[in-house]
Amino acid sequence: MALRTEVVGRGVGGRRQPPHDAMEGLVKKLRERISELERLTDILSRGKYDWETTFDAIQAPVSLLRSDYTIQRANLALAAVAGEEITKITGQKCYQVFAGRQTPCENCPAQQALTRDWPVRSTLKHPIRDRDYEVHAYPFAGARGGAKALVMHYRDVTEERRLHQELIQQEKMAAIGMLAGGVAHEINNPLGGILAFTQLLIRDHKGDEQIHTDLEEIERAALRCKKIVQDLLDFSRASSGHDKLPVRINDILERSFGFLKREFLSLNITLVPQLAMDLPEVVGDANRLQQVLLNIMTNATQAMPKGGTLTVATMFEPIKEQIGVVVRDTGMGIPPENLDRVFDPFYTTKAPGKGTGLGLSISYRIVRDHGGTITVASTLEKGTTFTVWLPAIEPAAVAGSPADRSRRKG
């Protein structure tokens, strides 16, 4: 008797299934598994894309570093500051590509954060690409239990530090201004008496040459003191605003060039005016603004005793609605440690008798009274640049102002 062999499968509950039903079930499960894997892959791809997009959307420089400062990942903002393509940054040392140094940046918080295993924040001692940065270092465990790594976030604090220094300067100026005003008034009256009696004695002793010479020396010293007192009064006196009218900066500069023409010739200084055409006007006291510009240009000429080039440029910044005046010399420059003090009252690097140290302080006060700013940048042996920004006025506003109507009538 022949035996008949039958292949059967077992289904749910142990029930026998035909072979083709078992295969269909297996295929169905495979399809479901593949669909699930595809869904997970899509989630991972979208997550990777979202992470990279978010990382690059951060406007501040951000990087992932190994403990030896090697960059594992950087965003587009860091590449922009470094001036490198994003694809060329990975694998390089952060201090080389970002800061242009051969050693880690001074005051970098990376190693301190790794040692403490805690976030650390610090401000780098030296600027990066002429900008000041506050750095946040966040340590984290490396992938698969590897060495620790860091997230480095760089915050540009250049403007913040400038405003902070400006606030300190304003408070210092206000305090010294009150003191200077009181001292000047106390000195002015007796000084006027000394000068008056000295001039009377000069008139009465014209025949005695020795006495006459001594009295003239006293008169010169008294006049010099009077000039210092007047500078103190100008420094302490805030502008009332009543004497401010629409003025053209280019016209003020042109007049100032005439005053300094002889100095330019005697010191072999080449003047290079770069005055923008059709500048809007500013509301200001023309005489006081001329005092500022003359003082800056005079200082520039004195910084070039062996000759050089003085470039004076004007410009209009439409976004900020400001008029800019840039005075750049090719002189000896200002030491970095002295830059923060140039606007301090009575601070001067000139020889005794050559300056009182009030010129730039008064200029600073005048510019502030006009709603503007004045800044300085300098490199030793290359020169110094002073930049003054003043708020511009709309042509329509000028045309409708009482000052403009009276000027047109005249």
Structure confidence by residue, pLDDT tens digits, 22-81:
777 787 788 878 888 877 787 777 766 676 777 788 889 999 998 899 998 889 989 888
Same domain, 60 and 196: no
Q: Please indicate, yes or no, if residue 252 is contained in any of the structural domains.
A: yes
Pairwise CA distance, residues 29 & 11, whole Å: 14
Q: Read off the pLDDT of each residue in 157-172 and give the average, rounded to a whole number.
A: 75
Q: Please indicate, yes or no, if residue 83 is contained in any of the structural domains.
A: yes
Same domain, 168 and 274: no
* Token pair belonging to 4: 């008949």
Same domain, 185 and 301: no
Same domain, 252 and 365: yes
Per-residue CA distances from 169 to 50, 269, 348, 365 (Å): 46, 32, 16, 10
Q: Which CATH number covers residue 126?
A: 3.30.450.20
Q: For residue 375, report the phi and psi dihedrals to the nearest 5 degrees.
A: -130, 165
Lowest mean pLDDT among 49-58, 176-185, 191-200, 331-340: 176-185
| Domain endpoint, select from 102, 135, 156 | 156
Same domain, 319 and 357: yes
Strands 149-156 and 62-66: antiparallel
Q: Please indicate, yes or no, if residue 250 is contained in any of the structural domains.
A: yes
State the amino acid at position 105 in one-letter form.
C
Tell me what pLDDT residue 373 has. 92
Query: Does residue 338 contact residue 349 with C-beta atoms inside 8 Å?
Result: yes
What strands, in cross-sheet order, belong to the sheet with 383-391? 269-274, 308-317, 322-329, 383-391, 373-379
The SS3 assignment for 118 reads coil
The SS3 assignment for 99 reads coil
Average pLDDT of the chain is: 80
Does this model's pTM top 0.85? My answer is no
Tell me what pLDDT residue 350 has. 60
H helices present in 94-154, as ranges:
94-97, 110-116
Per-residue pLDDT tens over the stretch 252-279: 999 889 888 888 999 999 999 999 998 9
Closest-CA residue to 62 (of 88, 82, 47): 82
Domain of residue 390, residue span: 245-409
Percent of the chain surpassing pLDDT 70: 78
Same domain, 81 and 106: yes
Q: Please indicate, yes or no, if residue 188 is contained in any of the structural domains.
A: yes
Pairwise CA distance, residues 283 & 74, whole Å: 47
Q: Please indicate, yes or no, if residue 22 is contained in any of the structural domains.
A: no
Query: Residue by residue, what is the 3-state secondary structure of 354-404?
Result: CCCCCHHHHHHHHHHHCCCEEEEEEECCCEEEEEEEEEECCHHHHHCCHHH
Query: Does residue 153 contact residue 161 with C-beta atoms inside 8 Å?
Result: no
For the packed helices 359-369 and 158-204, what is the interaxial angle rounded to 10 degrees? 120
Q: Which CATH number covers residue 285?
A: 3.30.565.10
Same domain, 293 and 375: yes
- The number of angstroms, rounded, from the C-alpha of 308 to the middle of its chain's C-alpha atoms is 27
Closest-CA residue to 364 (of 373, 354, 353, 351): 373
Q: Please indicate, yes or no, if residue 274 is contained in any of the structural domains.
A: yes
Q: What is the DSSP letter of 343?
A: T
| Domain endpoint, select from 131, 156, 181 | 156
* Token pair belonging to 267: 């010191």
**How many C-beta atoms surround the C-beta of residue 300 within 10 A?**
25
Q: How confident is the model at residue 239 (pLDDT cuts 50, 70, 90)?
A: low
Query: Does residue 288 contact residue 366 with C-beta atoms inside 8 Å?
Result: yes
Same domain, 135 and 175: no
Lowest mean pLDDT among 90-99, 160-169, 255-264: 160-169
Q: Please indicate, yes or no, if residue 36 is contained in any of the structural domains.
A: no
Pairwise CA distance, residues 339 & 169, whole Å: 13
Same domain, 81 and 118: yes
241-245 long-range contacts, Cβ below 8 Å, gap at least 24? 243/285, 244/283, 244/284, 244/285, 244/370, 245/283, 245/284, 245/285, 245/286, 245/403, 245/407
Per-residue pLDDT tens over the stretch 361-372: 888 888 988 999
How many distinct structural domains can be found in the chain? 3
Tell me what pLDDT residue 220 has. 85
Residues 6+ apart with CB under 8 A from 80: none
Same domain, 60 and 100: yes
Same domain, 354 and 272: yes
Tell me what pLDDT residue 403 has. 42
Top-confidence range, 192-201, 250-259, 320-329 = 320-329
Q: Which CATH number covers residue 196?
A: 1.10.287.130
Q: Please indicate, yes or no, if residue 398 is contained in any of the structural domains.
A: yes
Same domain, 230 and 250: no
Pairwise CA distance, residues 281 & 245, whole Å: 9
| Domain endpoint, select from 125, 156, 187 | 156
Q: What is the DSSP letter of 81?
A: H
